[in-house]
Each structure stands twice: as C-alpha cells, then as structure tokens.
Amino acid sequence: MIDTHCHLDARAFDEALDAVLARARAAGVTALVVPGVAPGGWAAAARLAAEEPGVHVAFGIHPQLLPQVPAREDDAMLSDLEAALSRGGAVAVGECGLDGGSFGAASLERQAALLRAQLALARRFGLPVILHLLRAQHELLALLREEAPLPAGGVLHSYSGGAEMVAPYAALGLHFSFGGPITYDGARKPLAALRAVPAGRLLVETDAPDQTPRPHRGRCEPAFLAEVLRAAAAALGRPEEEVARETSAAARRLFRLGPPCG
C-alpha cells in the first residue's frame, strides 16, 4: 500500500515518528508522500525524506496558510518555493489549491493567483500537483481548464466532490485520492464518487494526523491506511489485494516513485 498524503512533518508526530513509521511498515505501507504546506516546514520534510526509505516529499503553499501571511509576502513565498524545487527531491508540487470552506479564508482571488503560480512551477519542473479542494468545486474546475494541460497530471487529495464531478476532473488528467471519510457511517457521497473514478486513477491516503478512519480514534497515522483500503475494496466489490496493487501502481506512476524499498 502507498499512503499518498500524510503530514508526517506535523507536530503531532514529533515525539513518536520512529514508532509511527515502524507501525506503517508493519501494516504493509511501502511508501508515503509527505506534502509540505508552508515554507517553514519544507526543510524538515526534505530531511525526513532523505533519512527514511520510502518517504517522499512535495512542496507547496496551502490555501489555509494565507490568512496567516500578509499578501505582500506572496511573491517571496513563491520565490522560496521555486528555490526549494530547484534543489530537487520533490515528487510533486503541493499541497496547494482552493479552500472555500474555512472560516476566515483568504479571498478566492488571492488563492487562485497563488495556485496559478504553483501550477506554472509544476509545469516548469515537470511535476504533478497535489490539490486541496474544499467547497470550491466549480471554481477549481474552471481554473484548471484555463490552465490545461498539466503535463505531469495531479491528484485531488481527500476528494470531497460528488460523483458527477469526477468525469470533468478526470478529463484533465487528474487522479482521485480517498481517505478516512470513506469508512464513516453513512458515507454515501464519497463512496459513489470513488466508484466513478476511472481505472488507474484511484489512490488512497490517510491525511494523517487528520481524518482518522473507523474504528480508530484520535490521531490518524499511516498504519491506518489498511482500513481505508478495506473500505475502498468493499465499495468496489473487489479483493483488497487487487485494489492495493492497483492503487499502489497508480501512485508509483503519478509520482514516479520507482520500485518498493526492500
């Protein structure tokens, strides 16, 4: 299994990271993608990827960061992002995107400008994008259509849109990743969307330390990916081993991860 989105650089893991990684590997997680969300965290994420086999890093500017940063610093953040990507080692640009649901969110105009700049960097460096999307489905689709094509593709992480939006996003070359919410009681909308994903475009994630899947509680961690995969396989009516194989293969193609370690 490959956890395509987990924030192992979060403070929630500061004192337990070795144990968290050991549990993930024991559960069958062979690779993990850690998306950076702010300039201040990129170096730590890069060190983690350099030190831990199977851990990969992405760099991006998360839209939920923007209320904490004056708009006059946007150009400097983008310059820092360009420099980080120039140093190599990143498997994607992100986490970036549009957020229309958070309290006190930055204007969508500012978010869109930052996202367009990050898409330009993704094109320049030949990298896929990891996209955050919350309550801005049609706005993001319109923006991506204007920015198309994205030669290296990308993924809508923790996809929260309806099944009817899958085909338009898939036409742009995007993948779709699902996490803990597909394990929740009454999870009809995400499961319907999961079933609509074209072959070869489905990914799984934990979004650790958030979105803890049932039956676990508290902090999420990559070892819990097994529950997400189990729910995905049940929704598709297919064997878990088969879905694990196909989602892992899709992740390796998208992020160019190479063969499993060990």
**pLDDT tens digits for 66-109?**
999 999 999 999 999 999 999 999 999 999 999 997 778 899 99
pLDDT at 223 over 70: yes
Q: Mean pLDDT, the chain, as a whole number?
A: 95
Q: Look-up: residue for tokens 């990559």?
A: 222
pLDDT at 150 over 70: yes
pLDDT (0 to 100) of residue 104: 81
pLDDT (0 to 100) of residue 75: 98
pLDDT at 261 over 70: no
Q: What's the maximum distance between 2 C-alpha atoms anywhere in the chain?
A: 51
pLDDT at 125 over 90: yes
Structural domains of the chain ordered from first start: 2-255 (3.20.20.140)
